[in-house]
Amino acid sequence: MEIALCTCEGRVKREHLEKIENAHIFDRLCYERPEKRFDIAGCSHPALKSHARVLVDLNNLIFLRQNDPAEKAKIILKAYSEMLKAEISFIDAEVESSLLVRTDNAEFVSLLAKHFEPLYVLTDEPSISEMAVAIRGEIRSISGVVGNFSVELDGVEMRTGRKVRSLKVSQIVIPGIKDAREGIFSSEIQALEAVYNKDGIVKVRPLSYRDGRCGISFNGVNGCRLCRCPHGLVQHEERIVLDLMSCHGCGLCTSLCPSDALSLQIFPRNVLMKMIEIMSEYRKRKTLLYACRNAIGRVYGEKKTDSFFPVILPCINSLSEVELLYPLVRGFSGIYILPCDCPHEDFEGVERGVKIARAFGIESIVIERDFYPDVVKKLNRSSPVSEGFQLSPSEKREQLVEIISHIKKHVKPVTEKLDLNGFGSLSISDSCTLCKTCSSVCPMNAIKRNNGRLEFIHGLCINCNLCRLFCPESAIKIENGLDLSEADIKKVLKEEKMVKCPRCQKEHISESEYRKVSALTGHRIFTLYCNECKPVIVFEELYREIAGERNEQNE
């Protein structure tokens, strides 16, 4: 790993930098702009964007403000090197030269006409009809994505007088419009971006989606609806529909997804968790700083501060309960959250994590709009829940249950029951036959039939209701909320004797289900056999008939 570090014209001692392996040391890195490309640069100056894959402002964040600067810098560089392992892929969109714009500015239209064909203009200015397709009217709706928008409107073309009800356009410029989709611009000055887009758009894929982990539906029946987008770019159909080209990468949908079906690719969660583990190697008191990349500038300055380790995020929205609780069991005294002022602020994942922490009496998570060294000092006076706890490499909800179970060994909850969406507590009636339907449709494996027992782990349940909706006996009832006392406990909801297959001796059906199925079908003997053996005995019976043998069993 090749690293570029800077003394900032002597403000940082060169002997500190020389303690770091593979470091190339500069005095004015942002001005010198080295020809060599580095893996990490210890400066976030925009001039260095093309000179390093990862920019970390170590000088302002570490050397000028804290004790043990060289040790901290080594740890932070090691942590941020994990970002180099993230797999980056790209998405693209073809954009043609059609444009719809609302304006009465004829000079503006004359400029646009040089770049766009056809050019549609919603206007009340008749002279514009000499330069473009001028339409007097109002938009009713816009659907589609950049490069392929369908616009429904009530309009009349000024030149011909014909009615205009719909248009197909690649991009849209409507001053004041509230629409976050790529290719829709809310001011005339943004038309310049539309010009740039004409050759097509290429961007880093912000999200990935694994429908095999998603609980949105099963056989057309609606299930989980926890994920959402502050800009309306996530749609719930038979599977999640994402407008990736318009995605801002805030990560709210991924923070609310309990199963990791949605994951943030521009800052993968496994990379973030590994960074937490590496930063926790600093054994003295420390605070973890989660800072939005647009807010990290508020940390700069030369006033001394207690020890903190920065994680610079695309957006605070991307944090879930796991990322808030894990540092506290890895040895961090507290967590400082520094958001920016952005149009997609939501922070529901953060609020859920804070709510769980406070239910255990943990008050060492702070959200501030500015950086205050005194807050870091106060957080470092808190004691971590534990040190060195290692999570298993499982999915997010499994990890949350694991963390809660660990915290309960050290801290007793002051509040056990929390009103949180995305958690369910199951109870079943006596009509349950252990038929295995519920365990077959559960996307989280929260409910399982195992050796004649129906087992349930409350913390894994996302309250998607698929088990309740598919239960043939209507035996399941679900209550919303998280009960910390039961979150990690494997609870037996029902236990019943199982019937063995006469051929292979496998226990495959409960006594109550056997009675029900045999009564409905009239096949008392055939129902005794498991699904694997049924085809075999059917074949054996056919063979006996063909061979002229008597079927003693049927007699």
Residue 552 included in any domain: no
Residue 285 included in any domain: yes
d(CA 319, CA 348): 9
Q: Which domain range does residue 474 map to?
A: 418-495
For 363, other C-beta atoms within 10 Å of its C-beta total 12
d(CA 102, CA 16): 58
Residue 367 included in any domain: yes
Residue 224 and residue 147 share a domain: no
Q: What is the pLDDT of residue 547?
A: 66
Q: Which residues contact 372 (CB under 8 A, 6 or more apart)?
A: none
Mean pLDDT of the chain: 91
Q: At 158, which CATH number?
A: 3.50.50
Residues facing 334 on adjacent strands: 287
Q: What is the pLDDT of residue 554?
A: 47
Smallest Cα–Cα separation from 406: which of 320, 290, 319, 484? 484
Q: What is the pLDDT of residue 102?
A: 96
Whether the CB-CB separation of 497 and 510 falls below 8 Å is answered with yes
Give the domain-ending residue among 495, 511, 533. 495
Residue 361 and residue 267 share a domain: yes
Residue 554 included in any domain: no
Secondary structure of 308-348 in HEC code, one letter for each residue: EEEEEECCHHHCCHHHHHHHHHHCCCEEEEECCCCCCCCCH
Indicate left, alpha or beta for 157 from its phi (over 0: left) and psi (-120 to 50: alpha).
beta
Strands 3-6 and 38-41: parallel
Predicted TM-score (pTM) of this structure: 0.85
d(CA 226, CA 224): 6
d(CA 526, CA 232): 53
Residue 278 and residue 368 share a domain: yes
Q: Which two tokens stand for residue 142?
A: 């816009």
Residue 489 included in any domain: yes
User: Quick check: helix, strand or coil at residue 152?
Assistant: strand
Give the domain-ending residue among 85, 118, 133. 85
Q: How many domains does the chain have?
A: 5
Residue-level pLDDT, tens digit, the chain, 555 residues: 889 998 888 888 888 888 888 889 999 888 888 888 898 988 888 888 888 888 888 877 777 778 888 889 899 999 999 998 888 899 999 999 999 999 999 999 999 999 999 999 999 999 999 999 999 999 999 999 999 999 999 999 999 999 999 999 999 999 999 998 999 999 999 999 999 999 899 999 999 999 888 999 999 999 999 999 999 999 999 999 999 999 999 999 999 999 999 999 999 999 999 999 999 999 999 999 999 988 988 887 767 889 999 999 999 999 999 999 999 999 999 999 999 988 788 899 999 999 999 999 999 999 999 999 999 999 999 999 999 999 998 999 999 999 999 999 999 999 999 999 999 999 999 889 888 899 999 999 999 988 888 999 999 999 999 999 999 999 999 999 999 999 999 999 988 888 888 889 988 888 888 788 888 888 888 888 888 888 888 887 776 767 665 544 444
| Summary count for the chain: helices (H), strands (E) | 16, 32
Residue 286 and residue 152 share a domain: no
Residue 555 included in any domain: no
Q: What is the pLDDT of residue 549?
A: 54
Residue 240 and residue 336 share a domain: yes
Residue 444 included in any domain: yes
HSE, CB side, 13 Å, CA atoms: give it for residue 490: 9
d(CA 303, CA 65): 6
Residue 112 and residue 75 share a domain: no
Whether the CB-CB separation of 277 and 268 falls below 8 Å is answered with no
d(CA 358, CA 28): 46
Secondary structure of 442-509 in HEC code, one letter for each residue: CCCCCEEEECCEEEEEHHHCCCCCHHHHHCCCCCEEEEECEECCCCCCEEEEEECCEEECCCCCCEEE
Q: What is the pLDDT of residue 555?
A: 47
What is the separation of C-alpha 467 from the centre of its chain, rounded to a whole number of angstroms?
A: 24
Considering Cα of 47, then 52, then 53, then 55, what sign does the dihedral take?
Answer: negative
Place of tokens 């949908």: 253
Residues facing 290 on adjacent strands: 311, 337
Q: What is the pLDDT of residue 543?
A: 64
Q: Which residues contact 203 (CB under 8 A, 6 or more apart)?
A: 90, 91, 92, 245
d(CA 424, CA 460): 9
User: Quick check: helix, strand or coil at residue 218?
Assistant: strand
Beta strands in 22-106 (DSSP E): 23-26, 38-41, 52-55, 90-93, 99-102
- Give the DSSP letter of residue 526: G
Residue 282 and residue 405 share a domain: yes
Q: Which two tokens stand for residue 132?
A: 């473009």
d(CA 60, CA 76): 13
Residues facing 134 on adjacent strands: 121
Smallest Cα–Cα separation from 339: which of 291, 374, 371, 375? 291
Whether the CB-CB separation of 367 and 348 falls below 8 Å is answered with no
Residue 121 included in any domain: yes
User: Quick check: helix, strand or coil at residue 291?
Assistant: strand
Residue 146 and residue 4 share a domain: no
Residue 368 and residue 326 share a domain: yes
Q: How far apart are the first and last CA of the chain?
A: 79
Residue 503 and residue 491 share a domain: no
For 91, other C-beta atoms within 10 Å of its C-beta total 14
HSE, CB side, 13 Å, CA atoms: give it for residue 274: 16
Residue 185 and residue 47 share a domain: no
Whether the CB-CB separation of 465 and 436 falls below 8 Å is answered with no
d(CA 235, CA 247): 13
Give the domain-ending residue among 66, 85, 104. 85
Residue 243 and residue 342 share a domain: yes
